């Protein structure tokens, strides 16, 4: 369900774009993202920093796209978001010596006991991933048609899926086995 909720706004955007145009698609994207964030807030009772940044950028870049009738704003929104996230993680890690990724994911994955060097490597990997996604979206937005860019929004999801799988495999290698709980003397479960 959560995976569908994550992809729903972009699927609706591409569908509206294909059926109508980029401006109707932008309205649908803005509306679907507001609904998506409302559902996430209702389920989790909070929005993460990433959710807030995504919502703000979609509303700002969407409004600029509609007001100025210029599709470049909505096309460049992912590049701005990914770049901002990479910068935020990098500055936190290397300037303030704070691991935001551990702070954000650590609370969601409280059962994970990972060594600090693993959290550090994961953060560096996320920084690289965000920069890669910013660059590839920027390249497609700048050098390809809007139709090709919209198609990339769907088929480009192979990158985050591959990254998440690779991250999961890396994390799994570093998980510590939990010892079996001891039974009381003479007791059974």
Yes or no: say if 27 and 66 are a contact pair by the CB < 8 Å rule: yes
How many CA atoms lie less than 13 Å away from 39 in the CB half-sphere?
A: 13
**pLDDT tens, residue by residue, 70-105:** 999 999 999 999 999 999 999 999 999 999 888 877
Four-point Cα dihedral 130, 135, 137, 142, nearest 10? 160
- Confidence bin at 157 (pLDDT 50/70/90): confident
In the predicted structure, residue 111 carries a pLDDT above the cut 70 = no
What's the N-to-C CA distance of the chain in angstroms? 35
How many CA atoms lie less than 13 Å away from 66 in the CB half-sphere?
A: 13
The predicted pLDDT at position 156 comes to 87
Distance CA 44, CA 124 (A): 27
As a whole number, mean pLDDT of residues 114-123 equals 90
Interior/surface letters 28-64, b for 16+ CB within 10 angstroms, e for the rest: bbbebbeebbeebeeeeeeeeeebebbbebbeebbeb
**pLDDT tens, residue by residue, 126-145:** 999 999 999 999 999 999 99
pTM, full prediction: 0.83
The predicted pLDDT at position 109 comes to 59
């Amino acid at each position: 369900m959560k995976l569908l909720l994550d992809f729903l706004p972009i699927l609706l955007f591409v569908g509206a774009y294909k059926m109508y145009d980029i401006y109707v698609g932008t309205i649908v994207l803005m509306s679907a993202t507001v609904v998506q964030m409302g559902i996430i807030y209702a389920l989790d009772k909070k929005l993460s920093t990433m959710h807030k940044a995504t919502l703000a950028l979609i509303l700002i870049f969407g409004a600029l796209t509609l007001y100025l009738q210029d599709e470049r704003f909505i096309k460049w929104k992912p590049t701005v978001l990914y770049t901002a996230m990479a910068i935020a993680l990098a500055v936190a890690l290397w300037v303030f010596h704070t691991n935001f990724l551990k702070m954000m994911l650590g609370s969601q994955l409280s059962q994970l006991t990972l060594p600090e060097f693993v959290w550090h490597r994961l953060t560096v990997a996320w920084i690289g991933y965000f920069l890669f996604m910013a660059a590839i979206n920027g390249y497609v937005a700048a050098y390809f048609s809007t139709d090709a860019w919209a198609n990339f929004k769907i088929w480009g999801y192979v990158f985050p899926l591959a990254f998440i799988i690779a991250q999961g495999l890396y994390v799994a290698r570093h998980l510590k086995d939990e010892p079996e709980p001891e039974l009381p003397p003479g007791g059974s479960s």
